[in-house]
């Protein structure tokens, strides 16, 4: 199943739960996700409500990240030493999402969080077969379509049933931004030190890798784990 959107931005509908940009749908009393190192607010990128037939059907996965800094050891989620024989546990996720934040929430008592400035252009996400007039964002929700080898984790806390594939996003996908949005910080290749504003006004997420999202855990206690491939 493809995940796709129109090339033209949409007006946000508070009843829609799967989309890119605009304002996120969050629990009413929740704090805005922040970079745990700097304390600054993260940028909302997208959220997807998993279809009812999925193992976690009805839950919403939301993704936030930092665009105001460049740190080579933090822009891509931490990876284990052996990607092809990975056994993960709760200890692995300590400080896992310091530069970004993943949320997995139930669609209950939620509201649009409009208190923070919007940066990413709003597009409603659709599921099905992507037509030529649409832009493919990713695919899901049954099994990964790997760019390279299968690098799915084998177990979580020793349990293979606690590893649940969610969806994947496309390689080289770039997020259109609203007028006046700041440029994303990128590596300064000229000096090799520090960062510079991106020439391109669009944003990338996790260095534009194809990303495979997994939920690890059970009983409403899940960690989101990402495998990037390029």
Q: What is the pLDDT of residue 194?
A: 75
Across the chain, what does the average pLDDT equal? Answer: 93
Determine if the pTM surpasses 0.85.
yes
Stretch 17-46: mean pLDDT, rounded? 93
Q: What is the pLDDT of residue 60?
A: 97
Domain that holds residue 43: 2-229
The number of folded domains in the chain is 1
116 band by pLDDT with thresholds 50, 70 and 90:
confident
Name which of 225, 210, 120 is nearest 169 in CA terms: 210
Q: Return d(Cα 17, Cα 47) in angstroms, integer.
A: 7
Q: Summarize pLDDT for 200-223 with one digit per residue, the tens.
A: 999 999 999 999 999 999 888 999
Q: What is the pLDDT of residue 46?
A: 98
Question: Which residue do the tokens 């009812």 mark?
Answer: 52
Q: Return d(Cα 72, Cα 194) in angstroms, integer.
A: 10
pLDDT at 173 over 90: yes
Q: What is the pLDDT of residue 82?
A: 86
Q: Return d(Cα 166, Cα 168) in angstroms, integer.
A: 7
Q: Summarize pLDDT for 53-64 with one digit per residue, the tens.
A: 999 999 999 999
Query: DSSP characters for 41-109?
Result: BPEEEEEEEPPTTSTTTTEEEEEEE--S---TTTSS----S-TTS-EE-GGGGTTTTSSEEEEEEESSS
Assigned token pair, 101 = 């934040």
Q: Summarize pLDDT for 120-151 with one digit per residue, the tens.
A: 999 999 999 999 999 999 998 889 999 999 99
64, 44 Cβ separation under 8 angstroms:
yes
């Amino acid at each position: 199943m493809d995940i796709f959107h129109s090339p033209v931005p949409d007006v946000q509908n508070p009843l829609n739960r799967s989309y890119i940009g605009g304002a996120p749908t969050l629990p009413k009393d929740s704090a805005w996700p922040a970079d745990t190192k700097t304390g600054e607010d993260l940028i909302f990128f997208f959220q997807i409500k998993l279809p009812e037939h999925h193992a976690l059907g009805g839950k919403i996965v939301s993704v936030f990240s930092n665009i105001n800094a460049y740190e080579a050891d933090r822009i891509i989620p931490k990876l284990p030493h052996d990607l092809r024989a990975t056994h993960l546990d709760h200890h692995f996720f300590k400080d896992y999402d310091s530069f970004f934040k993943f949320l997995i929430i139930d669609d209950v008592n939620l509201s649009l969080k409009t208190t923070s400035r919007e940066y990413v252009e709003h597009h409603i996400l659709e599921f099905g077969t992507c037509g030529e007039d649409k832009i493919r964002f990713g695919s899901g929700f049954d099994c990964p379509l790997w760019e390279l080898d299968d690098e799915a984790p084998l177990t979580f806390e020793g349990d293979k049933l606690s590893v649940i594939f969610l969806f994947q996003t496309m390689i080289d996908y770039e997020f259109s931004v609203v007028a006046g949005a700041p440029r994303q910080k990128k590596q300064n290749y000229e000096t090799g030190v520090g960062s510079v504003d991106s020439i391109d006004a669009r944003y990338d997420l996790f260095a534009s890798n194809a990303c495979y999202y997994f939920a690890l855990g059970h009983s409403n206690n899940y960690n989101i784990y990402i495998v990037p491939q390029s």
